[in-house]
């Protein structure tokens, strides 16, 4: 019998996923990223020459050591790309569409933050300015969710 005619089945593995056995760390610059987010209204990036890398990298592309710099979240950021989500992970229609965007603080950067934008789908577009809505400092945990969402700048 041809291989193409055999019934293919996906194996199922009950219980916990293997990845739960491991502890993942964000690395030195990742720790600094979340520490800065928790303690200040900013994040850190790596500056290599005139280019910023978000999230921060340990080494620059030319293998030189970059400079870790703070990037304020209080300044406007820009929507570099976005998607509108109409269904949850199970395919159920959401009550209200959610907007996820790649957000950058300025033009000459590599990377950015992917986060929720609080807006209506018809209001959203690439290049629009947004500002971060942060949790109160005393409620921050050093997680990306310390940024509640971004909202359009009027």
Residue ranges per structural domain of the chain: 13-152
Question: Which pLDDT value is given to residue 10?
Answer: 53
Helix (H) or strand (E) holding 109: strand 109-111
CA distances 97 to 13, 70, 74, 87, Å, are 33, 32, 26, 8
pLDDT exceeds 70 at position 135: yes
**Residue 39's pLDDT is what?**
95
What is the predicted pLDDT for the residue at 14? 58
Residue 66 DSSP label: P
Query: Per-residue confidence at 134, pLDDT binned at 50, 70, 90?
Result: very high
Residue tagged 């030195």 (tokens): 28
Residue 71 has pLDDT above 80, yes or no: yes
Query: Pick the residue with more confidence: 88 or 126?
Result: 126
Taking phi over 0 as left and psi of -120 to 50 as alpha, with beta for the rest, 50 belongs to alpha
pLDDT for 129 beyond 70: yes
As its CATH architecture, domain 13-152 has Beta Barrel (2.40)
């Amino acid at each position: 019998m041809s291989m193409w005619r055999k019934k293919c089945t996906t194996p199922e593995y009950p219980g916990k996923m293997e990845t739960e056995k491991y502890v993942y760390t964000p690395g030195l610059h990742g720790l600094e990223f979340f520490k800065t987010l928790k303690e200040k209204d900013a994040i850190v990036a790596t500056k290599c020459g005139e280019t910023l890398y978000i999230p921060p990298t340990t080494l620059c592309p030319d293998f030189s050591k970059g400079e870790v710099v703070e990037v304020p979240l209080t300044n406007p950021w820009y929507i570099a790309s976005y998607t509108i989500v109409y269904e949850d992970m199970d395919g159920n229609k959401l009550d209200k569409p959610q907007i996820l965007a790649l957000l950058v603080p300025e033009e000459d950067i590599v990377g950015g933050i992917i986060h929720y934008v609080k807006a209506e789908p018809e209001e959203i577009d690439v290049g629009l300015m947004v500002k971060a809505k942060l949790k109160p400092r005393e409620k921050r945990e050093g997680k990306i969710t310390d940024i509640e969402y971004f909202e359009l700048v009027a």
